[in-house]
Structure 1
């Protein structure tokens, strides 16, 4: 077949470019953020968490009231223009005390979650990478710890170490790292057969470099998700322990301490229980809803 000039249609370059469908090439994290922004429940939860954290940090500064000194003439004052959340049984400003209690509860939860992630990440990465007898022994240790309820382990450690923030932090970390270790173990066992890991081993990379450079960084999405779900669980555990009187002790106080004190006055002054319990419920709910939205956003199977 002979092709002549009449059979060739000339196309303008501008017309050709306008007919193309161009889609921006975005990274995994950019796509995750895009999908998270499209989740109204997750974004609303993020706003609520931001407001609660601002309240915990700036609340006592904005209020400017003394929340430590006992003022008997103001005891059990109901909420008004002077005491926004009312005053407790010793006349101390409840607005500032709830803010400080929220700050301490969140600080303990974040610190415990970070330690839990670091310990679980190292432990799970080591037993998954080496496998064999190492994996068997380390996995049996996790199973033994998991066979004992975490609350019992925490209480036993608190009995041995005493009350206070440091013993509480140690107890919460010891009782909660096993779940992170098992999650990291499963992920690393999938990644260790990847081509880039085999290439690094072939080039003579040390075990520490392979685990720290190639395996653990690829579990970052799981670690972020684990942190978003473990923080509310730790907040709840700390509140329960402080409520039972084996957590944060006076003169320091957390939401659990305030809820315990508010329970004693619930029949006559319910607002002393309502405000700390309301902040706790709202914060844990917002963390859980944000964690669910983050899980959907980080799921590679849902990426378009």
Structure 2
């Protein structure tokens, strides 16, 4: 390594999504609208759950944290992306780059295990309805949420420690619109084989454990639903899971496609499309998925609006 021109760069250049000014302005408008809808939808979901006593249940406790994660998730990436779309200067400092990546990994890993906790909650509600209040006590719900954040923090620590050891031989251009792990690995001039293995194991374990938890929960749920004799009972049980299953399918499919592969197979076009979807679009979709298919949320919104009008 002694003959290499290895240096520690002070900043990076994000290549962004396109060089065309017209397309950049169109993307800016689109992403700004999506981000505003993301903020409105997730903040609205948190406020409705907090203000309506009828939504003070484990399911909505988890959902409020999911909204917080989605809001934070989008805010880590989208504002910087919007700024870069409006200017030709797309530099990001080394510190800000790794800070952005750290929060991104932390929030993504936390969301994985929060979705697992939500699957366990649905399992308890459908498979053990008489013991639901005991199984999903306030203490257990808080422990599951705290554990999700803690695992997210541990996952982030592994990624940051590994990526902070990389060196860049005067290479500054990140072929992405934000500081993502695979793009940074592809930029490094040092041997990343061992680091890739560690990150793959860390990310793979996070996805695998959470997916196994979700799969086992839903196998038990499906088995219980099939034993229900009434059609209305089956429909009600399915409706309580449909939103969560849809959210899980969208989130995990893009995550697996992007991260569970070697950095050498990193593709600028395909990875950027997938990244736009899970960093900008999915945080907007989740509140829509959980509210449009949920009568309780709609009724709660009506009650909050009516209460606000009456107070005036």
Tell me, yes or no, whether TM beats 0.5.
Answer: no
Bigger Rg over Cα: 1
Bigger relative CO (Cα 8 Å, ≥ 6 apart):
2
Give the structure with the higher percent helix. Answer: 2
TM (norm. structure 2) is 0.29
